[in-house]
Structure 1
Amino acid sequence: MTDARTERRSEWLRPLLLAGLCALACHVPAPVLAQAAPAPAAAQDSSIVLVGKDGWLFPAWGSLTEVDAAAIDRNTRLVVQARQALAAVGVRLEVLVLPDKALFYEDRLPEGRQLGDAVRGRYALIHDGLAGAGIPAVDALQVLRRVKQGGQEVFYRSDQHWTQAAADAVAGEVAVQVRQQVPRLDGRDGSGMPLGSEIRERRFGDLAELFLTGEQRKAIGRDTFTVRRQAEQQSLLDDAPAPVHVTGHSMVQPYFGFPQKLSNLIDRPVSVNWKPGNVGHWIVLLEYLESGEFRQHKPQVLVWQMFGPTYAQGPDARGLWDNASVMTSEQWLARLRKALGQ
């Protein structure tokens, strides 16, 4: 695994196409990903992309109507066991589940497509289950609804990722929870990451870039991506130990600004490890806990980011996660406890 501090330096602004590729893998089950190279003959007929109104694109994998409530409950129980194991070594767990794009733009879905009641209620089912189990978790759905109601977009039109406004708002709520859990974070005041100036890039979103033909992309058009430059002072802060670590998929990569904003708000360094989401949040957490970075400096707070539509997929979700990521729940727990010396 790449050292988290090195990752903050080298992946501040990732190449744009690479960011799109990471987004693709973040939500496409492995078998679909393997078959996805040829662009569809007609976007409307694609099994990969739903072309909605006004050029809004949505991933077409996953059900718009069905939810596996029993699997959600099973996975929450696994999260509880992880939290207990981490607490035993002095690490507090904060879970961040991010909601589905379609929840905010259902009116932009293709004609005749709509979400079922179960999918509309899936995020609340997950969040309420975590709260009932005593797991600290920001209600990102409500945070992002407020952002959208305030007139700002929360997802890009032709991309799967959140906007900087969305990432900033959720980082603000996570910062509040972190400070509530640990009022006195290790480190010194003034060691948070300064925020660089904003830049805007016109490009195709990942769904358009990867799954549409050139003619279809031209019809959809480019989106404007807002990201931050690396601040001049950042290099002075990179080597400071981080009392907060973020682990998750491509939504929390530095390109979209979440870890930088969190660091700025808590006024402490924040380290991050992430991988494309087709490997699953289960293995990404293990890779961090099994790393030298974790052994050398355990954080006070670990923010574990997940994605609502794939929350029901446990460590054993064969055919949905990358094959190398698949293991039984028992194997996953055994590796987690071994990494923690238990």
Structure 2
Amino acid sequence: MNNGISTIENGQAPLHTRRATLRLAAVAAAMLITTQMAWAQNNGSSLVIKGKDGWLFAGWGSLTQVDTAGIDRTVQLVAHVNQQLKERNIDLLILMLPDKVHFYADKLPDGTKVSPAVEQRYALIQNKLQRADIQTFDNFTLLKKVRGAGADVFYRTDQHWTLDAADATAQGTADLIRKIKPQLSGTAGTGTPLGALAKERRYGDLAEIFLTPEEKKQIGREVYTVRRQAEGQGLLDDAPAPVHVTGHSMVQPYFGYPQKLSNLLDRPVSLNWKPGNIGPWVMLLEYLESSSFKQTKPQVLVWQMFEPNFNQGPDAAGLWDNAAVMPVDTWTQRVTRALGSSTP
């Protein structure tokens, strides 16, 4: 991989075995939670919410307040990127992932409630993105359908989504890509072949990091459903891809989203991701400033963001890793420079 950019062609990113990816997922969770622990402590929040029936929720982030002004600032920054990409014939697609609490509010402890404003936060963000002419789709509704069909969309003791949720989101992403870009470059038959499903038992990240050994024993391990690499498929070098995904650990290969998207589009999909404490702003810069982007521009750029911290910009000190925090002006200047734009 060059500059952290990998191409999903054969079930996972080159140079990553499934075990290595799993270890990376654990490290990612630990790094994210270390940063968020400091944020939670500084804001008087619990580090983890211990719900009913062994369900765990991240304790950083408000269940009652919505930062509308912060959301508006973020939409303005995304619109700035969207316009610059349009000038280069690149379509931006915002993949907005909803908060876990929306799907399992009944598992929150007695007396802990999600306010009506927070219940409507995802819809508020989507409405503002659409009004700014930014391409997105309603992932919340898609995942509600998955939940309504009897499948879990998040793991009980983990912040991350299930394979069913990742697959449904990949389908929604592919449907929108086909709508905005009916003809993708490349050759048919180059999408990722999907391997067989496998089961793995382990503790979720919230349990692993926050619970005592006795608490972990009481709650128990979870069964994770993952896809193995397709039989007979090796790990190939990076190849030009018409679609690129940039985001955090939800879209890493271990949970299956990029492989499924590649399979549905029947084209390679490139990917760069890091733990959520790095934040979406630096992840976008990492890609735009990479040699991979300079050498081969995608037709569609999928920028994955997360509802609970969508209001936090590049300058959100204490939320993102210190090295990822920068003034908004610095961030916009680097985006402009990376895209070779004369637009200020």
With the length of structure 2 as denominator, give the TM-score of the two structures: 0.92
The equivalent residue for 1:246 is 245
- Output one character per residue of 1:91-146: Cα deviation in whole Å (capped at 9) or x when no partner: 11000010000000000001111101111111011111111111111211000000
Give the letter for the 2:182 counterpart: P
Structure 2 residue 277 is matched with structure 1 residue 272: no
- Output one character per residue of 1:169-191: Cα deviation in whole Å (capped at 9) or x when no partner: 01001001111111110100011
| Inter-partner Cα distance in structure 1 for 2:184 and 2:143 | 27
> Which shows bigger deviation, 53-62 or 225-234?
225-234
CA offset at residue 35 of structure 1? 9.4
| Inter-partner Cα distance in structure 2 for 1:88 and 1:138 | 22
Distance 1:31 1:94, change over 3 A: closer
The equivalent residue for 2:179 is 180
Distance 1:145 1:12, change over 3 A: farther
The equivalent residue for 1:18 is 24
CA offset at residue 244 of structure 1? 0.2
The equivalent residue for 1:4 is 6
Unaligned runs of 5+ in 1: 37-45
The equivalent residue for 1:332 is 331
Residues 25, 33 of structure 1: 8 Å contact kept:
no
| Inter-partner Cα distance in structure 1 for 2:46 and 2:177 | 40
The equivalent residue for 2:296 is 297
2:49 is paired with a residue whose SS is: strand
Q: Percent identity?
A: 55
- Map residues 23-102 of structure 1 onto 2, 5 A cutoff: 23-26=29-32, 28=33, 30=35, 32=37, 47-102=46-101
| Inter-partner Cα distance in structure 2 for 1:31 and 1:109 | 20
| Inter-partner Cα distance in structure 1 for 2:157 and 2:27 | 13
Aligned Cα RMSD in Å? 2.0
Residues 40, 59 of structure 2: 8 Å contact kept:
no
CA offset at residue 12 of structure 1? 5.3
Distance 1:145 1:35, change over 3 A: closer
With the length of structure 1 as denominator, give the TM-score of the two structures: 0.93
CA offset at residue 4 of structure 1? 1.8
| Inter-partner Cα distance in structure 2 for 1:236 and 1:32 | 37
Distance 1:233 1:84, change over 3 A: farther
CA offset at residue 9 of structure 1? 1.5
Residues 57, 206 of structure 2: 8 Å contact kept:
yes
Length, aligned pairs only: 333
| Inter-partner Cα distance in structure 2 for 1:240 and 1:112 | 52
